[in-house]
Amino acid sequence: MKRVIRLAVVDPNDGTRNQLKNLMLGVDTVWLEAECSRYEFFLDVVMQTQPDIALISLDHNRETALDLIGKVRQQAPACSILVASSSQDGPLILQAMRNGAQEFLNIPLKLDDFLAALGRVRYASASGEGNDEVRDSQVITVAGVNGGVGSTSVAVNLAAVLAKDERNTVGLIDLDLALGDADIWLDIIPDYTIQDVAENITRIDYSLLKRSLTKHDSGMFLLPRPINLDGEFHLGADDFRRVIGLLKATFSHLVIDVSKTYGDLEMAAINASDATLLVTQLDLPCLRNVVRLIQYFEQFDKISDKLKVVLNRAGLNDMQISVKKALEIIGREIYWKIPNDYGTMSESRNNGVPLIMQSPKAKLTKAYQELAAHLSNQGAEVEPEQPAKKKLFSFLGG
């Protein structure tokens, strides 16, 4: 299964190497795993970082670069090789291909040519492995409309269900930096937190980030919120986007549990997501906030189209608002309903064990399994409940 492409670059020329780096930083399906300015060190870099693709510039020393292609091909056969040169010399291109290069790119590198070459290498790699499915990493943000709606329970149990599938690798990020409790739900005492990542962001790489994650028995990896409330701690939106990019190179699924402040950090997560689950309950304050958030998100086409309203604790007896009335109020379909089962959920939380492990046959667990399948496009076509008529804030009557 192929996700974000991890790429290593060697080019002794600072100018062209920086141009290559800037080009790749603008491609969200590519993670620059390593860069090297010396041909003689690059093979060691490849062997240590195990990138998906090695990009070798030929112009500084053609003979050494051509020899390097052969060494990488021989010692790291799983690594695809791209070469780049300002020369259009036919014999040079032919020799590079004979030594093991799969694509020859012209310098200055054009984005369209680069993306096309990546696509060809990616397809060839998947075909060679006998894998007819090439799937990108999927990012799912879980956002609550109010305190106590159960957004963390949704994030934790969705991640656990996804991790149950052996084809998936799943990371869970607790982005409620002040009061997040995903570690409590999973009964984890972490050695590292997102604060450690933020404090080392300038030198963060694949191996350092992987060491910062805590693996749970369900198979998921957790990046928890800071241990202490530290006013000095700050994680910027740009830095967090870098973290997401690196995690996408590692995991098939990322689940992000955001706080309810909807500031820059939360919006960075939502913008990076393939789907945002807006978790609500059937009460007046929650539905009012659903309307407010939808109106806000509708300013951004890319967010609004990915927004999915999830009704948690559906069937709770003391709810005074019907699903039909809720549909009229919010003016948008309800994508998924998670049934109320206080006993099962309370036992799961108190034991620090996700539903898929605590109560695998429960109706509540099945709802999460089906939600995960639909989000991964593995389930039957979902038939979300549609609003009969949009009546914003018509909380009274009929």
Give residue 23's Cα distance to chain centre.
21
Give residue 128's pLDDT.
56
Q: Which H helix or E strand runs over 357?
A: helix 355-358
Give residue 56's pLDDT.
96
Domains assigned to the chain: 5-128 (3.40.50.2300), 138-375 (3.40.50.300)
Give residue 394's pLDDT.
44
Give residue 386's pLDDT.
65
Q: Which residues of 236-248 are buried (b: 16+ CB within 10 A; e: fewer)?
A: ebebbbbbbbbbb
Give residue 243's pLDDT.
85
Cβ distance 107 to 84 under 8 Å? yes
* Segments of the chain scoring below 70 in pLDDT: 1-3, 25-26, 28, 123, 125-135, 204-207, 231, 318-319, 378-398
Burial of 367 (0-12, 13-18, 19+ CB in 10 A): buried
Residue 392 token pair: 């914003």
Give residue 26's pLDDT.
65
Strand partners, 32: 7
DSSP per-residue letters across 51-89: -SEEEEE-SS-HHHHHHHHHHHHHH-TTSEEEEEES---
Give residue 134's pLDDT.
44
* Threshold 0.85, pTM exceeds: no
Give residue 318's pLDDT.
65
Q: What is the pLDDT of residues 291-343, one digit of tens each?
A: 999 999 999 988 999 999 999 999 887 667 888 899 999 999 999 999 999 99
- DSSP-derived pairing of the beta strands 53-57 and 103-106: unpaired
